[in-house]
Chains A and B, each alone.
Chain A
């Protein structure tokens, strides 16, 4: 230090040290602020994923948006903030794709493809084999094909957003087409993959009613879980149509229509 002071003068060395100290302070504040942002972002992601586990879509998206505001380059936060039903999600995804690291881009590309399928498009370009298989299957479902078995490669599991979307689309398509066995199979898939989805108690009634091994008592107790109302009645009428052998248990649970008087 003394050598430096002799060479440059005490004042100059003092100024240089002050500048250095300022730079270190700026770096420390920047690192600290980044750490705070990261912490808040991760907490919001945790809340969003916890909401996702109980299928609370609104809370998932709201917390995902908060996480994305703290961590704009974090794909997990960006994906949680996406609401597929919102056409503006296309622009959100395009911006996210530019921000995330290159190795995360296939994840965003898969969600982008799902968004296109949701809005009736046919996505171009190739994804990883598992994601691509789900997207191809969804495109066929949108074209009105029967929900055949979803065949997936062993080594490349698809993303959860694609699988859950496909499970719902498969059940919906089977329900519309009315084939008893396909409805039972797709109801079982939906129950295993998304047990906390708000519609799953109804789906479980369908699954139980269409499974011959299930007793009428078990079916009745599951029906009693459903809130009473027109929605439940509509479901039960359809179930009775699909499984006439369950009519004896379902009929007394439906409101009297006055027919036959």
Chain B
């Protein structure tokens, strides 16, 4: 009986540890780096809530998102919105991004002539920010491994 009681206690301890780890991932925060201006109204050094528990299939167009373009600090933090999911048709028409034929309202005019459509590849997202710095207009569709998490909100 003692063995069973001890086993249950250890299991509860492991579950509690896992719960704490999950809570830390869900409630973590990310700081806007110095000089970052790809999204309007983001203040440098301000921290925002970042949910790192989001699975790839849970992303929806319009979600505020944080991603990284590389392991170095300079490219580690980028903000914007999900514009298109895997399989969506993305094109540029008259300086605006269109996803499956519908105009995406986010971001400034894109300095490119009409191009596309392309399909967003499997396990990739097309992300966009106001000034198209470090987003999919500049870097192409982002792989799932580059996504850091869902932001609570962006101004």
B141 pairs with A193, CB closer than 8 A: yes
Give complex CA distance A47, B120 in Å: 22
B118 pairs with A159, CB closer than 8 A: no
20 contacts between A and B (CB under 8 A): A50-B75, A53-B139, A53-B140, A53-B143, A130-B122, A156-B87, A157-B87, A157-B122, A158-B122, A160-B122, A160-B141, A163-B119, A189-B116, A191-B112, A192-B91, A192-B115, A193-B140, A195-B138, A211-B114, A218-B111
Nearest 8 CB-CB pairings of A with B: A188-B115, A211-B113, A50-B70, A160-B121, A157-B87, A157-B86, A157-B122, A192-B118
- A155 to chain B: which residues have CB within 8 Å? 87
Give complex CA distance A52, B68 in Å: 13
- A52 to chain B: which residues have CB within 8 Å? 143
- B87 to chain A: which residues have CB within 8 Å? 130, 154-157
Residue interface bits A3-17, CB-to-B below 8 A is 1, else 0: 000000000000000
Give complex CA distance A208, B114 in Å: 9
Give complex CA distance A155, B122 in Å: 10
The answer, yes or no, to whether A167 is at the interface (CB within 8 Å) is yes
- B32 to chain A: which residues have CB within 8 Å? none
A152 pairs with B119, CB closer than 8 A: yes
Q: Which of B86, B115, B123 contacts A189 (CB 8 A)?
A: B115
Q: How many whole Å from B98's CB to the nearest CB in chain A? A: 11
A160-B141, A188-B116, A214-B113 known; A47-B121 Cβ under 8 A? no
A213 pairs with B75, CB closer than 8 A: no
- Interface residue SS majority, chain A: helix
- B123 to chain A: which residues have CB within 8 Å? 160
Given contacts A53-B70, A191-B112, A195-B139, 6 further A-B contacts (CB under 8 A): A52-B143, A53-B146, A157-B87, A157-B119, A157-B121, A188-B116
Residues in A41-78 with C-beta less than 8 Å from chain B:
43, 45-47, 49-50, 52-54, 76
In chain A, what residue has the closest Cβ to B143?
Answer: A49
In chain A, what residue has the closest Cβ to B137?
Answer: A195
The answer, yes or no, to whether A142 is at the interface (CB within 8 Å) is no
In chain A, what residue has the closest Cβ to B95?
Answer: A213
Residues in B112-136 with C-beta less than 8 Å from chain A:
112-116, 118-124
Size class of the B contact interface (CB-based, 8 Å): 20 to 34
Residues in B18-45 with C-beta less than 8 Å from chain A:
none
- A211 to chain B: which residues have CB within 8 Å? 113-114
- A46 to chain B: which residues have CB within 8 Å? 71, 145
Q: Which of B68, B69, B113, B118 contacts A208 (CB 8 A)?
A: B113
Q: How many whole Å from A259's CB to the nearest CB in chain B? A: 32
Interface centre among A43, A53, A213 (most CB of B within 10 A): A53
The answer, yes or no, to whether B92 is at the interface (CB within 8 Å) is yes
Give complex CA distance A152, B86 in Å: 12
Q: Which of B69, B113, B116, B138 contacts A50 (CB 8 A)?
A: B69
Give complex CA distance A92, B29 in Å: 41
- A43 to chain B: which residues have CB within 8 Å? 71
The answer, yes or no, to whether B77 is at the interface (CB within 8 Å) is no
The answer, yes or no, to whether B90 is at the interface (CB within 8 Å) is yes
Q: How many whole Å from B66's CB to the nearest CB in chain A? A: 15
In chain B, what residue has the closest Cβ to A194?
Answer: B140
Interface centre among A163, A196, A218 (most CB of B within 10 A): A163
Residue interface bits A127-148, CB-to-B below 8 A is 1, else 0: 0001000000000000000000
A53-B139, A160-B141 known; A192-B116 Cβ under 8 A? yes
A45 pairs with B114, CB closer than 8 A: no
Q: How many whole Å from B120's CB to the nearest CB in chain A? A: 6
Give complex CA distance A195, B92 in Å: 14
Give complex CA distance A191, B139 in Å: 10
Give complex CA distance A47, B141 in Å: 17
